[in-house]
Amino acid sequence: MKSAWIVAVVLLFVSAAGFAAPSPAPLSGEALAAILGPAPAGGACAPKAEGVQLAAARPGTEIKSACNATAQCGSGTVSCSGNSSCSAQDRNCAIPTAGKVTCDGVTTWCSGGCTLCDQCDATGDCMACCQCQGYAYWICERGIC
């Protein structure tokens, strides 16, 4: 019984000493930056823009862009570079959308857009296919596709 009391007292002393030990001080911002690297622009929870890439210096200048974006069009591409946000949406005639890029709030659209024949090819839509073949809208409405 005496040894049980001794063990209990020793365990109590060890556990109390463990709780009394000071915890390490939190790391400073400089220490965290050295370990993890600098914080991303816009915060860690900032939304990621589609097609964002780091860009080299613009031709003929020493200014570097923070991002660039490129969208596929029907006949080529459109691109832009920005300092804060860039996004791209490829041409998709099933929606239909011509395609566009937006950098720092400035939007550039693909030229040409989607024709009725492009919509027909992308979706098989009876009305678009009928009009693509040269029929008038009112004929297509009557189901002559």
Prediction pTM value: 0.47
Residue whose entry in the numeric block shows the structure tokens 């050295």? 34
18-29, pLDDT tens digit by residue? 555 555 666 666
30-66, pLDDT tens digit by residue? 665 666 655 555 444 444 444 444 445 455 555 566 8
Question: Judging by DSSP bridges, how do beta strands 76-82 and 106-109 pair with one another?
Answer: unpaired
